[in-house]
Amino acid sequence: MSESQDQDLVLSQLRSLKKGFKTRPSWSDIAVENVHLKTYWSQWERIVIINDVLYRKWIHATTEQTILQLIVPNVWKQDILKMLHNDLQSGHLGIHKTTVRVQNRFYWLGYKQDVIKHLQNCIVCNSRKRSSSRSKSKMKQYNVGAPLERVAMDLVGPFPLSYRGNKYALVVSDYFTKWAEGYPLPDMEAQTVADSFIKNFICRFGIPRQIHTDQGGNFNQSFLRSYAKNYASIKQGRLLFVHKVTDL
């Protein structure tokens, strides 16, 4: 670290000033120097050299404990930000918590702005962000006039594993009669869901005109293929999914 600081233009000058002056030098001594060096000069009493390494004394606002912050040269900034934010054990914390993690151990001029910029460019964080403005369609009322005109399906779980090896449930309810049933499932694979729906619902009540789902991955084309494969008679009709119309 001492060598890295010595190779940094500003920190090498700061080290020379701290070694050459017992008290803070006058403004005339540094007036023509780099603006960053002048900022460090304004914190003269807080900057110390320990084992030939520059540190900054910082008093914690809550504990009032004096903490030695390692003054970081330019070449180390990105490595430290990756260590404190991108590392597997860091958890990609937000701006405030990442700033606190930096503040408790390190210091460099403009580190707060660098933290914000680093998080804004983090691929993992950006992939998890939701759009601030989400388009919403207008609410509308849908009336049904007979049983099996529209049936809703949803998956719930996981639950504690049953003695039969089931930990999920398929819930099916009829819009008109409000009748609802739940069927145990060992998993949420499309084939498993289709088999359960056909065996437990269709074989007892008949084929619904429409099926309403939440567009989950379990109700995709694999589900439709499994549905049609097991019951060829369904291919003669037309099954309408609320989020997708499919001819079987």
| pLDDT per position as a tens digit, 94-134 | 889 999 999 999 999 999 999 999 998 888 887 776 666 66
Q: Which residues pair with 68 in a beta bridge?
A: 57
171 or 198: which carries more pLDDT confidence? 171
CATH no. for 151-247: 3.30.420.10
Query: How many whole angstroms separate alpha carbon 13 and alpha carbon 30?
Result: 10
CA–CA distance, 68 with 87 (Å, rounded to integer): 23
User: Helices 111-120 and 95-103 meet at what angle, rounded to 10?
Assistant: 140
How many whole angstroms separate alpha carbon 130 and alpha carbon 206?
A: 40
Please report the pLDDT score of residue 234 as a whole number.
Answer: 47
Average pLDDT over residues 35-49: 91
How far is residue 116's CA from residue 118's CA, in Å, rounded to a whole number? 5
Rg (CA), the chain: 32
Q: List, for residues 174-194, the tens digit of each pLDDT value.
A: 998 999 999 999 988 877 888
pLDDT at residue 208, as a whole number: 86
Q: Quick one: pLDDT at residue 233?
A: 46
Q: Give the span between the Cα atoms of 125 and 110, in whole angstroms.
A: 22
Which residue intervals of the chain bear CATH 1.10.340.70?
A: 2-125
Give the fold, CATH level 3, of 2-125: Endonuclease III; domain 1 (1.10.340)
pLDDT at position 237, please? 46
pLDDT band at 224 (very low <50, low <70, confident <90, very high): low
**CB environment 149-159: b (16+ within 10 A), e (fewer):** ebbbbbbeeee
User: What percentage of the chain carries pLDDT values higher than 70?
Assistant: 83
Banded pLDDT at 72 (limits 50, 70, 90): very high
Task: Say if CB 71 and CB 56 are below 8 A apart.
Answer: yes
* Residue whose C-alpha is closest to residue 52's, from 7, 17, 109, 1: 1
Instruction: Give the residue range(s) of CATH 3.30.420.10 domains in the chain.
Output: 151-247
**The pLDDT value given to residue 89:** 73
